[in-house]
Amino acid sequence: MPRVVSLVALSVLLAAWPARAQTSATPPPVSQAEQDERADENNPVKAVFFSLRNEFGNQLGDSWTDAFIVRSDRAWLTRNKQLRSKVGLLTRIDVPIVTSHSGTTTEVGLGDLYVQVLHVPWLTPHVALAMGSGVTLPTASSDTLGFGKWQLAPIVVPVWFFPGRKGFFLIRLQEHVSLAGDASRPAVNYLQTAPSVVYNFRPRWWMSVETEATTDWQHDNRVSFRTGVELGHVVARRFGVSVRPEIPWGANRTGDWTVKVVVTRYRVAT
């Protein structure tokens, strides 16, 4: 299955930011529930995300893979008065249903589950940092739908915010290494380095550009590249959609093209 792309602060802030950046000549009336929501600064569960993602990848040759991913993101943040920032945890769970086609064979089933827990030591209007790890569980229903390995994926992501809620820049560094699993399957050991920029170019609209470099330590430190451009729209205050085409490139490219479509539900829990 395609690897799970983990954007720490991006996943938490991307859905929330365009909705909060909406402006109008006459602000709409604010309900009492919304006032209570905004006033509850110490609620540990500030943001809950639920997204449906479809990722179709045309591989080299006649192969292709389609992953339908049910993703749950949650932010457990509180305000630290001494640090003058928010601190806490970010969690993520991905449940993929994968379709894999190669030659004349097509298989459909459960892919590898992905679970992630990250610590946020500070989150301010100017900078943020998240660090922790993901874990890939070898739950795929067949060999072609997963890696067959338990994987640990430590990650660190610094974030710098643009003035006026216009967007942010981040760099994601994440190592994926297999620890156990099916001895007959290849070991996993690669590093992803991915700078990304997100720009809120008008109310309810955003775009992002990311280039990801993958260094495969298992195959002579071979480096492959992938660049994606995303366009997103907040259809309603707590509902957004985005489309993201990606192109692998370089001498070691791993596919022809990928298209990702994401539907996100955002809400603040009180």
Q: Which two tokens stand for residue 10?
A: 């991006």
Tens digit of each residue's pLDDT (9 = 90 or more) over 242-262: 999 999 999 999 899 999 999
DSSP 160-211: EEPGGG-EEEEEEEEEEEEEEE-TTSPP-EEEEEEEEEEEEEETTEEEEEEE
DSSP 48-67: EEEEEEEEEEEESTT-EEEE
Distance CA 267, CA 229 (A): 25
Q: Which of 226, 238, 227, 233 is nearest to 265 (CA)?
A: 238
Give the residue-averaged pLDDT of 22-41.
39
Q: Where are the alpha helices (DSSP H) in 205-245?
A: none
Q: Which of 211, 216, 214 is nearest to 247 (CA)?
A: 211
Q: Any idea where the domains of the chain sit in the sequence?
A: 8-21+48-267
Lowest mean pLDDT among 68-77, 169-178, 189-198: 68-77
SS3 content of the chain, % helix, strand, coil (to 5): 10, 65, 25
Query: pLDDT at position 24, please?
Result: 35
Query: pLDDT at position 30, please?
Result: 39
Tens digit of each residue's pLDDT (9 = 90 or more) over 151-169: 999 999 999 999 988 899 9
Structure-token match 């179709």, residue found: 56
Q: How far is CA 47 from CA 65, 73, 138, 190, in A?
A: 31, 8, 29, 31
Estimate to the nearest angstrom the gap between the alpha carbon of 61 and the chain centroid: 28
Structure-token match 């991905």, residue found: 94
Tens digit of each residue's pLDDT (9 = 90 or more) over 41-58: 333 333 557 899 999 999
Length of the chain: 270
CATH class of 8-21+48-267: mainly beta
